[in-house]
Every structure is written in C-alpha cells, then in structure tokens.
C-alpha cells in the first residue's frame, strides 16, 4: 500500500534590517508582525527566513502576541546570490504601469538601485513611490534576494547624469549606439558600480545622447531590434548583473 507523504510546508522569507540580539530576532508590533500573525497566520514553532544586509537567518518563531514577534535564530548564512556587478538602473519613467513592471523585474534580476528619470520625452511624470517599494519588496522576497534595491525619488535627466558620474562605468542604451560586446561586460566587472540608462517610449533626444557621450558613458545598443523601454530595461539589467563567466 502506497503512503502519500505530506508536502513540505513553504518557508516564508522576509527582507528587512534584521539584526539578531542574543540569538533572537525581535519584530515589534507593526506591519510585518501583523503580516506574520494575522495575514499568514503563522504559529509558534514554525520556521521562517529573515534576510538583509547580505545575510540570511533561518529562525523558529518563539512568541507571537500583541507586543510583536520573537524568533530564535537556528542558522545563519552569508549570501551567495549577489550579482557579479553592482548595477544602478536609471530608467526614464514610462507610461501606464510599465515602470512598476521595470521595478519588479529589475529587483528580481538583482539591480542594487533603481532611479526613475524624467527626460525630455518623458510623458508620465508621477511615480507612486510607496507602490514601487511594495512591489520591490514582494519581488525580492519571491526571488530569494537577501536585500532590497535602493529606490530613488525621480530625478531629471541632467541630475541623474551628474549622479552617475560616481559610478565606475555607465552604459547608455540607444539604437544609434554600437552593439554591447563581451568586452563591455568584462570591463563592467572591474568597474565596481555600473550605471544603466534606458530612455522613454520616444527615445532619447539628440542632445541627451550627446550629453551622455560627453559625460563618458558608453553609448550602446541591445542589437538590431528596437525594444520597448521596459523590455530594454529588463534585458540590459540581466546582461549587466549576470555577465558570462570569464
């Protein structure tokens, strides 16, 4: 007679600024404690994972009450999921909810920071930052990241270009640029921090492209096809974060 085994219960992961004290993680009453107790309906004795600051803690819930949640750390591990490069995505704000898609996918891929940019041809100007933070947190927890990307308030193009000067290298994507090559990916690994510029639906204008070149950006394309802005952002992030092994 065959015996049907129980399916192992999913271990929920939570990302935040967690710092164990005395082998315990204490979460005061608030949104996260409410999620654990009331939404997920977890109970004492169940295991969960807390991630943040490049570390992950497997913990057993010890106490859940009106004062918050206390979990006892069972195991600590350093992150081995970090991308090869620290990538900041400077993406022009795109219409409808497409920028939310960009933030979600860039988080899943491993972007370290996401900066909404207002360019000359940007149509949509409002960005719901709290909504973006929620999307990024959910995406990070779902994909197994051990940190959250830094989400910036929207910057105008000139300010974004000035900020990007602190990066070791910047890739500026436009169909007029040369094709991204393996040599660019190899160089990015030694750059420390890499910036990616993705334009709006109508593309960058000529003056913006010229300004990027003057600022030392590598003006590149993603090949012979012209992608939608959100597609270009996802493709560029992946190529930057996970270049082929040298």
pLDDT 10s digits, 34-81: 999 999 999 999 999 988 777 889 999 999 999 999 999 999 887 666
Position 177 scores a pLDDT of 97
Q: Please answer whether residues 199 and 229 qualify as being in contact, where contact means their C-beta atoms are separated by less than 8 angstroms.
A: yes
Q: How confident is the model at residue 7 (pLDDT cuts 50, 70, 90)?
A: very low
Estimate to the nearest angstrom the gap between the alpha carbon of 104 and the chain centroid: 7
Q: Please state, in angstroms and rounded to a whole number, the distance separating the CA atoms of residues 188 and 220.
A: 13
Mean pLDDT within 139-157: 92
DSSP E strand boundaries for 24-168: 24-28, 47-52, 55-65, 68-78, 86-92, 113-118, 150-151, 155-156
With 0-12 / 13-18 / 19 or more C-beta atoms within 10 angstroms meaning exposed / middle / buried, residue 163 is middle
Has residue 146 got a pLDDT over 50?
Answer: yes
Residue with the bigger pLDDT between 101 and 1: it is 101
Q: How confident is the model at residue 1 (pLDDT cuts 50, 70, 90)?
A: very low
Nearest to 196 by CA among 218, 171, 177, 224: 171
Residue 227 tokens, joined: 């992608």
Has residue 2 got a pLDDT over 50?
Answer: no
What distances in angstroms separate CA 114 from CA 37, 168, 191, 197, 230, one per listed residue?
A: 31, 17, 18, 11, 13
Mean pLDDT within 97-114: 96
Position 65 scores a pLDDT of 93
Position 103 scores a pLDDT of 97
Has residue 168 got a pLDDT over 60?
Answer: yes
Position 3 scores a pLDDT of 41
Mean pLDDT within 153-171: 97
Has residue 4 got a pLDDT over 60?
Answer: no
The upper half-sphere exposure of residue 176, i.e. CA atoms within 13 Å in the direction of its Cβ, equals 11
For 97-112, b/e burial (b = at least 16 CB within 10 A) is ebbbbbbbbbbbbbbb
- Structural domains in the chain plus CATH codes: 13-78 (2.40.240.20), 86-241 (3.40.1280.10)
Position 19 scores a pLDDT of 86
Position 56 scores a pLDDT of 86
In sequence order, what are the residues at sequence separation of 6 or more whose Cβ sits closer than 8 angstroms to the Cβ of residue 241? 83, 84, 85, 87, 109, 110, 111
Enter the DSSP assignment of 21. Answer: B
Position 245 scores a pLDDT of 62
For 232-246, b/e burial (b = at least 16 CB within 10 A) is bbbbbbbbbbebeee
| Percentage of the chain lying above the pLDDT 70 cut | 94
């Amino acid at each position: 007679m065959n015996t049907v085994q129980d399916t192992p219960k999913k271990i929920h992961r939570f990302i935040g600024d967690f710092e164990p004290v005395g082998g315990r993680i204490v979460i005061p009453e608030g949104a996260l404690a409410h999620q654990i107790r009331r939404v997920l309906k977890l109970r004492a004795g169940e295991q969960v994972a807390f991630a943040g600051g490049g570390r992950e803690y497997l913990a057993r819930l010890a106490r859940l009450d009106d004062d918050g949640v206390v979990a006892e750390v069972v195991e600590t591990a350093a992150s081995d999921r970090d991308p090869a490069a620290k990538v900041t995505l400077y993406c022009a704000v795109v219409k409808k909810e497409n920028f939310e898609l960009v933030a979600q996918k860039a988080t899943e891929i491993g972007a370290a920071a996401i900066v909404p940019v207002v360019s000359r041809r940007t149509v949509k100007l409002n960005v719901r930052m709290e909504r973006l933070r929620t999307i990024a947190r959910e995406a990070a927890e779902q994909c197994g990241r051990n940190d959250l990307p830094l989400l910036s308030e929207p910057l105008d193009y000139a300010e974004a270009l000035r900020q990007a000067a602190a990066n070791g290298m910047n890739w500026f994507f436009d169909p007029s640029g040369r094709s991204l090559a393996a040599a660019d990916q190899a160089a990015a690994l030694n750059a420390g921090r890499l910036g990616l510029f993705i334009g709006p639906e109508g593309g960058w204008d000529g003056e913006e492209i010229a300004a990027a070149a003057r600022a030392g950006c590598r003006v590149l394309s993603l090949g012979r096809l012209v992608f939608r802005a959100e597609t270009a952002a996802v493709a560029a992030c992946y190529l930057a974060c996970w270049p082929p092994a040298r």
